[in-house]
């Protein structure tokens, strides 16, 4: 529910290394009310990860040990499940993160489309918003003139990376700068 800060990381690059190590493989642990009686129920494996702005997107696979498989997975005749993770990153006397997953419907839509194909649907409304976000840029073509949120107009010169010419100069255009009125 809250943020986890790790004060030993003053540089974002150091923190990214920590996140990459954290996302390789973690143990899945079942915590009861008594922290001392926690037991391993399986493993977390990060299949993919990327950072978009200050959001770390991950695809996790949880492989459960035979005696800890949730009933819904037993019925589906599988011992693992996948989900999309969304970690918000922030700096405050060290780097920190707040972790969420697709089921809570994060208010961020920069999740790569390829991640959606890897994971069963957990929140259709959020996925629709992610697709709408990406479709907004799929319809833009090189040489199109777009309106930016600051009121300026840009002629698109490249889609990957997203570049545009403004007053004779070429700039990288963050997607958040594109006006909704296009």
The more confidently predicted of residues 117 and 136 is: 117
Instruction: Report the chain's mean pLDDT, rounded to a whole number.
Output: 81
Instruction: Verify cis geometry, omega within 30 degrees of 0, for the bond prior to 161.
Output: yes
Q: CB within 8 A of 159, min separation 6: which ones?
A: 137, 140, 142
Instruction: Give the model confidence (pLDDT) of 75-90 as tens digits.
Output: 667 778 899 999 888 8
- Mean pLDDT highest for which of 14-18, 30-34, 112-116, 171-175? 112-116
Give the contacts of 173 (CB within 8 A, at least 6 positions apart): 148, 154, 156, 162, 163, 164
How high is the pLDDT of residue 31? 41
| Residue 182 clears pLDDT 90, i.e. is over it | no
Q: Domain spans of the chain?
A: 4-136, 140-177
What global pTM score does this model have?
A: 0.75
Count of C-beta atoms within a 10 Å radius of residue 64? 19
Q: Are 164 and 173 in contact (CB under 8 A)?
A: yes
Check residues 179 and 71 and name the one with the higher pLDDT: 179
Q: Which of 2-6, 35-39, 156-160 has the lowest mean pLDDT?
A: 35-39
Average pLDDT over residues 46-63: 87
């Amino acid at each position: 529910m809250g943020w986890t800060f790790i004060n030993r990381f003053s540089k974002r690059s150091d923190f990214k290394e920590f996140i990459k190590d954290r996302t390789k493989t973690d143990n899945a642990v079942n915590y009861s009310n008594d922290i001392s009686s926690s037991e391993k129920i399986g493993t977390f494996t990060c299949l993919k990860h990327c950072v978009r702005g200050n959001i770390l997107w991950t695809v996790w696979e949880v492989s459960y040990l035979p005696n800890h498989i949730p009933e819904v997975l037993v019925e589906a005749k599988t011992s693992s499940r996948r989900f999309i993770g969304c970690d918000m990153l922030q700096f405050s006397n060290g780097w920190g993160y707040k972790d969420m997953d697709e089921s809570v419907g994060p208010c961020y839509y920069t999740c790569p489309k390829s991640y959606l194909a890897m994971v069963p649907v957990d929140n259709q409304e959020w996925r629709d918003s992610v697709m709408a976000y990406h479709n907004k840029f799929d319809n833009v073509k090189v040489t199109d003139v777009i309106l930016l949120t600051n009121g300026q107009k840009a002629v698109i010169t490249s889609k990957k990376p997203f570049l545009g010419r403004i007053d004779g100069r070429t700039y990288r255009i963050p997607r958040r700068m594109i006006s909704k009125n296009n």
